[in-house]
Structure 1
Amino acid sequence: MNERTEAFHALHRPGRPLLLPNAWDHASAAALAARGHPAIGTTSLGVAAAGGKPDAAGATRGENLDLARRLRDLPVLLTVDVEGGFSDDPAAVADYVAELAALGVVGVNLEDGRPDGSLTPPELAAAKIAAVKAAVPGLFVNARTDAWWLGVPEPLPEALDRARAYRAAGADGFFVPGAPDDLVERLAAEAGRPLNVLHRPGGPTLAVLGRLGVARVSTGSLLFRAALGAALHAADAVRADRDAALPAAPGYGWVQSLSAPDAVTRRP
């Protein structure tokens, strides 16, 4: 385990959750780094949509590698959402993640949801995790179950069974997007690994989630969707000859500066 991967592991402190904002391109990642976030994830929806491709369809293998190359010089810890690993061959998944690690990536999200709406068999999902950990032992593997996301019957026992299987395979974290708020504390206690949940507008605050034992809170696609919403709002305002009534947009010069070597020292 190198210094960067050690630092990323250390940010996962149950009770003091890491807020992990999710970026989709260089500008969004550099801007978040400039705001002082020590670690940034990617959003699979944002990366896919920005490239004109569908999310969760195994279509962005190349886009993730290209983005990791563009972000490698930012002084921020990067974890990448690789969906299901873009293969059902554990060795191929491990080879792909090793490519990302060679670009400086310190973690991946590896999910068990499939494009057809089913869950990957737990044995296969665990085999992917084990293969990745064998290839890149220090990398933080955040094992995601879509038991709630896909609406499977009896999601709690399904999730807990998968937590045990993924933990045994070497997973470093357990991610449960869509889990009900009243089950978060139990999941944190029984997962056996740092628990990651998805931020939900109007849901529990970081402080409350910390008291429930959560170690990481991701924004998922929220920031990307919010950016699209703000752009549409501004465009509609201009077309209607009215003020956009948006928070102050970053200035041209500051956005331009995000591509400069010292970009993260500059704030809007």
Structure 2
Amino acid sequence: MSHDPGPAFRALHQPGNPFILANAWDAGSAKMLAALGAQALATTSGGHAFTLGRPDMGTVTRDEALAHAQDLVAATPLPVSGDFENGYGDAPETVAETIRLACEAGLAGCSIEDTAFDTDTAYAFDFAVERIKAAVAATRALPRDFVLVARADGIMNGYYDVEEAIRRLQAFDAAGADCLYAPFPKSVDDLRRIVACTDKPINALTAGPVFSKVTRADYAAMGVARISLGSALARVTQQSLIDAATPLLAAGDFSTLGTAADRATVDAMLSTPS
């Protein structure tokens, strides 16, 4: 591709000056977020799965994720990062191929998790590091800039504690990952420990009962470089559907439809050039 979104995307990653990485789930939400002022977008594996009528966690194929990513890349001029789960396979060679395909799809970067979906466990430490080393090697061989995010998902999934997450993040750092990410530590203090464990940019997930209450200024003071939304916006939209449709279907009460967004406003946002 002639356009390289990587340098602009990489430049956004400034510890202590975090940007908000807005996770979109289709071309329409991507355009809306861009019109609202997002600096960069990301796919959300959960949000994408919901649009396909599937639950989150390992239900989307690589081909589906790549096609979806291309749709988001085409929707706006913003850089887009791919939420690519575990790289869509266990083998390091599969992860490396996913990186190459992500670049071809026009993405500015992507994230790779340490979750083995087939067994619902975390990959063993040494194998998790080997997978990131393969991803780094593939990234360095690309014809353009690409931001690789290495994720330690064991806290979120209940596989290990913050000490093991930090051990893994430091190993991923040493392997050459550009950005590091351990979703949903148990506390803000644990997030501070994660930020302090490396000089690399740290992504924080702002969702759930704890971290949705932390402000951008708070994240900046901790040294966070990037704040992602995960599937939270997609789930907020789903909750709006539940809240609006439940009374009308259960009791014939249509009053919730009075809160719908103005069509002209939405149309104007969706008319923004790609």
> Could you state the TM-score of these two structures normalised by the residue count of structure 2?
0.87
1:26-57 CA distance string (max 9 Å, x none):
11111111112121111111111211334222
Aligned to 2:159: 152
Aligned to 1:92: 94
1:250, distance to aligned residue in structure 2 (A): 4.4
1:163 aligns with 2:169: yes
CA change 1:149–1:246 in 2 (3 A) is farther
**Aligned partner of 2:244: which letter?**
A
Aligned to 2:228: 218
Contact kept in structure 2, 1:129 and 1:166, CA below 8 Å: yes
Aligned to 2:126: 123
Aligned to 2:263: 251
Q: Which runs of 4+ in 1 moved over 6 A?
A: none
Structure 2: unaligned runs, 5 residues or longer: none
**Aligned partner of 1:72: which letter?**
V
CA distance in 1: counterparts of 2:170 and 2:32, whole angstroms? 37
CA change 1:57–1:3 in 2 (3 A) is closer
**Aligned partner of 1:18: which letter?**
F
Report 1:133-144 matches (<5 A): 133-137=136-140, 138-144=145-151
Contact kept in structure 2, 1:145 and 1:175, CA below 8 Å: yes
Bigger helix fraction: 2
Over the aligned positions, Cα root-mean-square deviation in angstroms equals: 2.2
CA change 1:252–1:228 in 2 (3 A) is farther
1:232 aligns with 2:264: no
User: What is the percentage of aligned positions where both structures have the same residue?
Assistant: 34
1:181 aligns with 2:188: yes
Question: What secondary structure is seen at the aligned counterpart in 2 of 1:56?
Answer: coil
Higher alpha-carbon deviation: 29-38 or 200-209: 200-209
1:164-209 CA distance string (max 9 Å, x none):
2101211111111111211222211113311111103542111111
Higher alpha-carbon deviation: 131-140 or 221-230: 131-140
CA change 1:167–1:250 in 2 (3 A) is farther
CA distance in 1: counterparts of 2:83 and 2:262, whole angstroms? 27
CA distance in 2: counterparts of 1:102 and 1:15, whole angstroms? 31
CA distance in 2: counterparts of 1:44 and 1:59, whole angstroms? 7
Contact kept in structure 2, 1:11 and 1:18, CA below 8 Å: yes
> Could you state the TM-score of these two structures normalised by the residue count of structure 1?
0.88
CA distance in 1: counterparts of 2:21 and 2:220, whole angstroms? 14
Contact kept in structure 1, 2:116 and 2:123, CA below 8 Å: yes
